[in-house]
Structure 1
Amino acid sequence: MTLIPTQEKVVKEEDSETQGPLIPPDTVSKEERLVWFRRKLPELDILKSNKLTHQFHSRVLEFFNFDYEAQFFMTWIAPTRYRILKPLVDRGFKVNAVTPNLAFLFKNTPAEAWFEEMKTGNKDPGEIPIAQNLSNLMRLVALYKFGGVYLDTYFIVLKPFNGLKNLIGAQSINMKSKNWTKLNNVVLIFDVNHPLLLKFIEEFASTFDGYKWGQNGPYLVSREVERIREKPGYNFIVLPPMAFYLVDWIRINRLSQKPANECDSIWVQAKLLRLSRETYGIHLWNKQTRNLRIEEGSVMGRLILEHCILCQHIY
């Protein structure tokens, strides 16, 4: 991931050495799952407030009290904490890991009542890991309260995001009308208190369904934007797929393959040229690419060599 020295990034993460996302059993009834969830609640540290989480707001404000060109957020529900960011800090980048106080973060938003029901065991978390849905909600509320850029971690940034504001990237479009057909929540760029973010948070809290993948994430963004797209007062834009979603998850594998012949080499060069003109970053579809072997000379290999700060021995 390319970062310029004046960029800021806050990574919100869970403060536990042993706590991973709780995976609910998939062979039980809704009633049995809720009983299981209530029994497991004491183990779910991310829902708790403690001495460390109480520092959340002051640490974020202190961190943003610098002259920066853009501020970035990621959610990282893992026990790695600061140590995984140290190589970036050692190279002069302004990054920080901040353990969130979710009760404080969600306070005075439509997420507050939803969170209270969840942490008291009165709401069914569903089959989708609660960590995944918390990530969907945290990114919305963090942007609503602090403004900036949200990025998923499996993302290659190709150029600065300076000047980008109040926008979402289209994942797909209708080739005839050029209107978007699907949006995503992998990249969100908004000002503080943007009304569309508030609509997203309201939609999350009122239609939460832990049994449907995407219901509370990318599908939420698509249906809410579709609902308000003709209404005045929201002031946002939708960028075309080339801005962030070079290819969909079905075709992402080709980007990791080296050219097999001259025709392939021409295709790679043409793709890289177009990327340099039209693309801010590439979403890597982690589930599809995390086990791929990146071949030398491939589109992905060339991009990582040119833009990744810490990548070594990628071939």
Structure 2
Amino acid sequence: MLAAKILGCRLVNQAKSPIASIIFFAVLMFFMLADTMICNISLEPAAFTDKEDSQELQILKVVRKTSSDVVVPLPWTVSTQNKIIEVDEEHRNSVPSSLSVRKEHGVGKFRRKLPDYGIFKSDELTKRFHGRVLEFFNNGCEVHFFMAWISTVESFGRRETMAVESVFKSHPDGCLMILSRTMDSIRGYRNLKPLFDRGFKVMAVAPDLPFLVKNTPAEAWFNDMKSGKKDPGGIPLAQNLSNLIRLLALHKYGGIYLDTDFIVLKSFKGLKNTIGAQNVDGTSKNWTRLNNAVLVFDMNHPLVFKFIEEFALTFDGNKWGHNGPYMVSRVVGRVEGLAGYNFTILPPMAFYPVDWIKIGSLFKEPKDRAGSRWVEAKVQQLKEKAYGVHLWNKRSSKFRVEEGSVMGRLMAVHCVLCKNKHTS
């Protein structure tokens, strides 16, 4: 373009007639057109490269921050200008190609770390699982309860203990099995010993996941996850394993599953093959979302089998609730009313009487007479209509149980050890 301008200036100086002017402009246009074509040709590869970089950045952007005990994909750093892909020092000698990055990104580090993820293992302890379950529940149990705990034994605190206590307050002859490798330990035994000493039937048992998935739709999912063929996603894997283990336990043995942040208020003995609605439509009163924090089902119930099948076929480790509350909602929405599926859906008041957004109100001390009346009315309502209260622990764990609050009143009535009830 610069050459064209210089040549143009020379021609202008030399132009002495209209013919010379015409020749000048024709030559000038020729150089401008040629220059433009050359620029376009040189820019096309650059534009294409930028587009590829943008797509690669979007693909690799699936890395999520999770808790320290959850295996996550490799921490990639991508530069769209220089096409530099970096990994942390631990994996610097095994940087894959850009194509394998896109294919293996979600599962690479998980495959390397899997041997350390204890719940996938079978050992001498877990191989006794089935026998221990049968022996425990063949012990004059009025009702069979399950809970699942995949976190550390140290994090099983006062609130979880209160949930366990509430089970026995309403079911003194019931049996509660906590499915947990970490709680099936000396420290876990010490946590539960005060209940043992009072004659309550509670035991923590390390689950044998390979045994539980065997001959179920989740067996192929388990094998793919164990071999590193399936992406565990950014949601903590423990959360999704808890969603699956509760279903497998109910499928194999039947009974009642409760989350460890559920306070039982009355006996479950009258419930059979039951799931609870979390939300309903304000006009039609039809459920809009179910939840899996409380499940009551017979052994080999077809709906539980469908839940396991849906979990395995549609697993997505990057969407919160997809393999839990949303999963049970999808399945029930398809099979509700079909022959062979006999189950009951209870309204939110049964298990989820307070929405997770408003759960903090149950922990607050009343500040005036109106507040005291509200607490009294709420306690009475829960006593009459609710089987229990789901505390939505992810949200409410930061709240202290204040003196005179709804939760303070409920814990005082439904505890059996009744220690430190005004702490989180």
Same fold judged by TM-score > 0.5?
yes
Say if 1:21 and 1:130, in contact at 8 Å, map to a contact too: no
Shift of 1:85: 1.7
Equivalent position to 1:194, from 301, 315, 322 = 301
Query: Greater shift after overlay, 289-298 or 81-90?
Result: 81-90
Q: Which amino acid in the other structure matches residue 188 of structure 1?
A: L
Aligned match of 1:209 in 279, 291, 316?
Answer: 316
For 2:373, which of 258, 261, 266 is the aligned residue? Answer: 266
Amino acid at match of 2:356: W
Structure in which a larger fraction of residues adopt helix: 2
Tell me how far 1:247 sits from its aligned partner: 0.9
Q: Would you say how many aligned residue pairs link Structure 1 and Structure 2? A: 296
Is 1:164 aligned to residue 271 of structure 2? yes
- Tell me, in whole angstroms, the C-alpha distance in 1 between the residues paired with 2:383 and 2:103: 49
Q: Secondary structure at the match of 1:33?
A: coil
The answer to whether the 8 Å contact 1:21/1:131 transfers is no
Give the structure 2 partner of residue 153 of structure 1: 260
Q: What residue number does 2:14 align with?
A: none
Moved over 4 A (4+): 25-30
User: Would you say 1:52 and 2:125 are equivalent positions?
Assistant: yes
**Secondary structure of 1:183's match?**
strand
The correspondence for 1:69, drawn from 142, 149, 155, is 142
2:70 aligned with 1:22:
yes
- Residues 261-286 of structure 1: per-residue CA shift (max 9 Å, x gap): 11111111111111111111100000
CA shift in 2, pair 1:310/1:25, >3 Å:
farther
Greater radius of gyration (CA):
2
Contact 2:73 2:110 in 1 (8 A): no
SS of match in other structure, 1:161 = coil
Alignment TM-score, normalising by the size of structure 1: 0.90
Question: What is the rounded CA distance, in whole Å, between the counterparts of 1:312 and 1:66 in structure 2?
Answer: 28
CA distance, structure 2, for counterparts of residue 25 and residue 280 of structure 1: 41
Identify the residue that residue 107 of structure 2 maps to in structure 1: 34
The answer for unaligned runs of 5 or more in structure 1 is: 1-19
Contact 1:168 1:239 in 2 (8 A): yes
Residue 27 of structure 1, CA deviation: 5.0
In 1, distance between residues paired with 2:343 and 2:258? 18
Which residue number in structure 2 is paired with residue 177 of structure 1? 284
Q: CA deviation at 1:186?
A: 0.1
Greater relative CO (CA pairs within 8 A, separation 6+): 1
Question: Partners in 1 of 2:402 and 2:139 — Cα distance?
Answer: 40
- TM-superposed deviation, 1:184: 0.4
Which residue of structure 1 aligns with residue 198 of structure 2? Answer: 91
Match of 1:250, SS state, is helix
Q: Please give the secondary structure, in 1, of the residue aligned with 2:106.
A: helix
TM-score (norm 2): 0.68
Mark the CA change 1:259 to 1:50 in structure 2 (over 3 Å): closer, same or farther. Answer: same
Contact kept, 8 Å, 1:151 with 1:188, in 2: the verdict is yes
Q: CA RMSD in A?
A: 1.5
Q: Secondary structure at the match of 2:107?
A: helix
The one-letter code of the counterpart of 2:183 is T
Which shows bigger deviation, 30-39 or 45-54?
30-39
Q: Could you say what secondary structure the match of 2:113 adopts?
A: helix
**Structure 1 residues 26 and 247, CA gap change in structure 2 (3 angstroms):** farther
Q: Tell me, yes or no, if structure 1 residue 131 matches structure 2 residue 238.
A: yes
How many angstroms apart in 2 are the aligned matches of 1:80 and 1:145?
21
Q: Could you report, residue by residue, the CA deviation over 1:174-230 in whole angstroms, capped at 9, with x for unpaired residues? A: 122111111000000000110000100000000001111111011001111011113
Partner of 2:251: 144
Structure 1 residue 26 displacement after superposition: 8.1
How high is the sequence identity, in percent, across the aligned residues?
60
2:146–2:255 CA contact under 8 A, matched in 1: yes
